[in-house]
Amino acid sequence: MNILILGSGGREHALAWAVKQNPKCDRLVCAPGNAGMAAIADCIAVDVMDNDAIVALCKAQNIDFAIIGAENPLANGVADALRAADILTFGPSKKASELESSKAFTKEICDACNAPTAAYARFRELDAAKAYVTEQGAPIVIKADGLAAGKGVIVAMDLQQALDGLDDIFDGAFGDAGTEVVIEEFMDGEEASFFVLSDGKNILPMGTAQDHKRAYDGDKGPNTGGMGAYSPAPVMTNAVTQKALVEIIQPTIDEMARRGTPFQGVLFAGFMIKNGQPRLVEYNVRFGDPECQTLMMRLGAQALDILQACAEGRLDSTRINWANDHAISIVLSADGYPGTYEKGTEIKGLDALNSDSKNMIFHAGTKADGDKVLAIGGRVLNVTARGTTLAEAHERAYAMVDQIDWPEGFHRKDIGWRAL
């Protein structure tokens, strides 16, 4: 089977690494890819937002199966374009991707299927939104409706912060994503991420993880795409998982099918859990980054069989073989991230590190330059380890981090603290 992985982050490198180990994978193409993927696949430059170019690439490379990594191409309809061209594809349609690309749409679905989530109201006018926030009081949560690279959410602990946030959104801080706002009740509790595959009808839980969104130790500093993750997340006990499946996930999948827009791909649900009750914070329609790195490390080669079964509508007869293991991924970022940072600095020490089924460096914003590896993005490397306990994986991952020579980078030293 010839396989395409669309994207260039650590998530896509982890998918490529797992897929490549499966004997069913004859040829692996990554587009556009990065230095890590270039070592195990053929990388081809493509604009991930150009559906025609992606279809043409698949035809030219005889691709049998396309796996889409990120949300923007999905919201742009790449899965529809590929399926229209008869290419087996992992990832939801443009319409089903609204579960991530419109927070208001997700709220509508929760209402329709009675899924527990924060109470909310929607506004298109600044004055009405401000009046509502003033009446409700703080803490309160303000969200730009559309895709804003994880930055369109303001958790306001006082009223002024909420009013300022509304000014920013209606001033265009998030462009078109902020034409509408969703204002939500503040939920308190512990957060966890749950990844569930759906072929449109059947569901298959794929694992839990916990991310660390803030840039610095102690959950301080600005929000980022994620500075580290571990899997499984202990807060997702069997009882919480069952409740989440029965009260939130399956009803969502059923409602999407009922509307004639079935969801096919991985549904990444963010929950707030309090007193054993999960409530939905948000949906994403793709794997988390860096959560995916921990899931792929735990699944290995079977990831391809599972993603293929999902795309082919066979999840009712598919099982996952879980080892009783734990994985952790530490993100190395360029100094200054998530603000401005230098590009083109050299990373040394990678060759000396082991890469095997328990220790892997997944690349994100890197580029090969001859024998050198250069940092060209904000999040640059994901140092990932698997062990029989989280403590063991944690120790090995940080030992690898210590051997990497990159003075222009930084990382959090407390990934996994909640579970350890």
Is residue 100 near ligand GLY by the rule CB under 6 A?
no
Q: Which does 33 bind (CB under 5 to 8 A by kind): ligand GLY, ligand AMP, none?
A: none
Binders in 128-147 for ligand AMP, by CB under 6 A: 141
- 3-state DSSP assignment of residue 263: coil
Q: How far is the CB of 229 from ligand AMP (least distance, A)?
A: 13
105 binds ligand AMP (CB under 6 A): no
Instruction: Return the bridge partners of 171, or none.
Output: none
b/e sequence 13-51, b meaning 16+ C-beta within 10 Å: bbbbbbbbbbeebeebbbbebbbbbbebbebeebebeeb
Assign residue 358 a region: left if phi > 0, alpha if psi is -120 to 50, beta otherwise? alpha
**In the block, which residue shows the tokens 């070592």?**
39
Nearer to ligand GLY among residue 21 and residue 72 (C-beta): 72
For residues 150 to 169, the per-residue mask of contacts with ligand GLY, x marking binding by CB under 6 A and - elsewhere, is x-------------------
DSSP label at 124? S
Quote the tokens at residue 60.
Answer: 């030219």
User: Least separation, in Å, of the C-beta of 217 and ligand AMP?
Assistant: 17
Q: Which of 106, 284, 294, 329 binds ligand GLY (CB under 6 A)?
A: 284
Using rule CB under 6 A, residue 184 touches ligand AMP = yes
Q: Name, in order, each residue with C-beta under 8 angstroms of 163's C-beta and a sequence gap of 6 or more.
A: 130, 133, 134
Distance CA 302, CA 220 (A): 37
* Binding mask of the shown chain, residues 255 to 274, with x at each position contacting ligand AMP by CB under 6 A: ---------------x----
**66 makes contact with ligand AMP (CB under 6 A):** no
Residues in CB range of 369: below 8 A, 6 or more apart: none
Question: Which of ligand AMP, ligand GLY, none does 225 bind, CB closer than 5 to 8 A by kind?
Answer: ligand GLY
What does the alpha-carbon distance between residue 91 and residue 6 come to, in Å, rounded to a whole number?
A: 11
Distance, CA of 140 to CA of 304 (rounded, Å): 41
Mask: binding to ligand GLY, 288-327, rule CB under 6 A, as x and -? xx-x------------------------------------
Residue span binding ligand AMP (CB under 6 A) among the ranges 37-45, 180-188, 196-204, 229-237? 180-188
* Three-class DSSP category at 172: coil
Q: Does 191 bind ligand AMP (CB under 6 A)?
A: yes
Cβ–Cβ under 8 Å, residues 74 and 97: yes
Q: Is 365 in the site for ligand GLY (CB under 6 A)?
A: no
Give me the residues that bind ligand AMP (CB under 6 A), please: 118, 141, 150, 153, 155, 184-187, 191, 270, 281-282
Give me the residues that bind ligand GLY (CB under 6 A), please: 150, 211, 225-226, 284, 288-289, 291
